[in-house]
Structure 1
Amino acid sequence: MKYLYVLLVLISSLAQAQVDTINTATLKLNLSAFKNSKRSYAVFFEDSTGKRLSSADIWDRTIRLSQTPSGQKIYEFDWKWFQKDSLLGHVTATGQLPSLAPLTHKADYAKRGKISTTFTGNNVAVSMPNRKTGQDTTFTVTLKQPAFEFPMDLEILPLLPIKKVGQQFAVAFYEPGTPAANYYRLTVTGKEDLPIGGNTNINCWLLNIDYGRPDAHATFWISDQSREVIKMREYFRGRYRYKVKLF
């Protein structure tokens, strides 16, 4: 009986350690939660003692579901990044449904310039014109895995098939303009009621992402009911960045 118990514990541990691979080809996301929506987030930094280091930027993020003239179902993503009274960045993107495979990505950042990206299968054509120097860098990337685009992490992570604490996922993301896509390890670390003011709580799953380096990681609070990110706390080089849903 003793050996049988040890064997059962070992089997249970191995089952819990299994990692579910998620990319645009696996079709494992919960698309019932991917709807027409607009969400706004306050984004700010704190040091390790909780002292606020910056005023809050505002992120307005919109998802619109539509279809092309040929009848292909697509999503349209729009992200406006406001800092004080200025538009610091504007990103638009499109992708296929139901896979969420990216089709296009265009971004205009006040400090980083423009980038235009077109996806054709696992091939990505990237154009990065520099407004200050007039130089135009164009190159092609071949992705080894069919990946989601990283700027949509707040919209994609809540769609993971989360059912219990201890689940682990490996999710493929690509940051437009970089040379490769990568898998990122995510673990469901808990479930708790998150206070949002006015004696109101939202029951949330806690999802931790490993960025592959010791000085960078983040936890997302994802509503169990609406499947949206309510809060994110990210550690990077000794300070914390927060993203908090306003409405």
Structure 2
Amino acid sequence: MMVLAIAAQAQKVDTIRVGHRFKQFKNLELGTVTDVVYNEANGRLNGAIKKRTTELVQINGQELVKIVHEWNSPNEQWSGRFEYYCEPYTMKPVQHIRETKMQGKEAFKFNSNTIEGLDSAVNNKQKDFALSLSEQTYNWEVDLETYSLIPMKEGNKVVMNFYHPGGQTPPKYYTLAVEGSEKLKLANGQELDCWIIFTDYGGTQPTRFWYTKRGQNFVKMEGQYGPMKIYKTRLY
């Protein structure tokens, strides 16, 4: 049964800016997990299998979080991978390299007031990319990992600034609300007690995410963009 939060008064909304040290950083799940990602529109299904690997690495004496996503689809044009580095505890972006059959290699470096094409990446289709920032932004492509670090308690709301590297939509603050909880039963009979996180991406795409109460690990996502329904489900 889903339990929704009913607030007698307006809830406080916390702003989480890049540089904030996440007290829940221990919830960042290390290792490899596999998700099924698919969408449904006009009676047609499109899907992919995505592997997400997160680890702590040392590069030139600096500890970084390395996150790799690899997705494989029956349509090879939609297959690809990315390799992303950010700072531990803050998830402050450092470098992002994405490669797909459709777009080729797109590589970016994140500075204090700009996002630029990574000049050291060979055959970088985004080598001339440059975006000025009024303030730093989190990386949309690791939303599942980033969301797992926010404080989760029924009624909590946070706003965070996100941007998809190379995208046309500029960085923007989005609201994430812990709207309630639900106990999910898996196919193997296991029961997971989960928080439900809601965001509507500025009114364009109402979406819910389920995270376990213990450890705040991602379980599934359900969203809608116009006539298209979008799903992500972790394989156990």
Q: State the AA in 2 paired with 1:26.
A: H
Is residue 66 from structure 1 mapped to residue 57 from structure 2 by the alignment? yes
Could you tell which deviates more after superposition, 145-154 or 28-37? 28-37
Once residues 14 and 199 of structure 2 are traced to their aligned partners in structure 1, the CA distance between those partners, rounded to angstroms, is 14
Equivalent-residue separation in structure 2 for 1:62 and 1:114 (angstroms): 20
- Runs of 5+ in structure 1 lacking a partner? 1-10
In 2, distance between residues paired with 1:94 and 1:166? 31
TM-score by length of 2: 0.86
Given candidates 200, 221, 225, the residue that maps to 1:232 is: 221
Compute the displacement of 1:82 (Å): 0.3
Q: Is the 8 A contact 2:40 2:230 kept in 1?
A: yes
Corresponding residue number in structure 2 for 1:13: 9
Alignment correspondent of 1:216 = 205
CA contact (8 A) 1:22 1:28 kept: no
Which residue in the other structure is 1:109 paired with? 100
Instruction: State the number of aligned residues.
Output: 226
- TM-score, normalized by length of structure 1? 0.83
Out of 89, 92, 96, the residue aligned to residue 87 of structure 2 is 96
* Cα deviations by residue, 1:76-104 (Å, 9 ceiling, x for unpaired): 11110100384711100111122111111
Alpha-carbon distance in 1 for matches of 2:159, 2:184? 26
Q: Would you tell me which structure has more helix in proportion to its own residues?
A: 1
Q: Answer yes or no: is the 8 Å Cα contact 1:91–1:108 preserved in 2.
A: yes
Matched, 1:181 2:175: no
Instruction: Identify unmatched segments of 5+ residues in structure 2.
Output: 1-6
Change (3 A) 1:237 1:69: same
Of the candidates 181, 184, 198, which is equivalent to residue 191 of structure 1?
A: 181
Shift of 1:198: 2.7
Q: Distance in 2 between matches of 1:47 and 1:136?
A: 31
Q: Which residue of 1 aligns with 2:30?
A: 36
Q: For residue 155 of structure 1, give the secondary structure of its aligned residue in structure 2.
A: helix
User: How many Å separate the matches in 1 of 2:141 and 2:117?
Assistant: 15
Compute the displacement of 1:47 (Å). 4.8
The alignment yields a C-alpha RMSD, in angstroms, of 2.5
Alpha-carbon distance in structure 2 between the residues aligned to 1:125 and 1:67: 23
Change (3 A) 1:114 1:200: same
How do 1:120-199 residues align onto structure 2 when only pairs under 5 Å count?
120-126=111-117, 138-163=128-153, 165-178=154-167, 180-199=170-189
Q: Any conservation in 2 of the 1:148–1:173 contact (CA below 8 Å)?
A: yes
Against the structure 1 CA distance between its residues 208 and 127, is the aligned structure 2 distance closer, same or farther, given a 3 Å change threshold? same
Query: Helix, strand or coil for the counterpart of 2:206?
Result: strand
Q: Is 1:22 the counterpart of 2:10 in the alignment?
A: no
CA distance in 2, matches of 1:210, 1:172: 14
1:45 to 2:39 alignment: yes
- Which protein, 1 or 2, shows the higher relative CO under an 8 Å CA cutoff with sep ≥ 6? 2
Instruction: Give the partner amino acid of 2:188.
Output: G
The structure whose Rg is larger is 1
- Partner AA of 2:142 in structure 1: M
With over 3 angstroms needed to count, the CA separation of the structure-2 counterparts of 1:121 and 1:32, relative to structure 1, is same
Pairwise CA distance, 1:185: 0.8
Q: What secondary structure does 1:173 align onto? A: strand
Equivalent residue letter for 1:13: Q
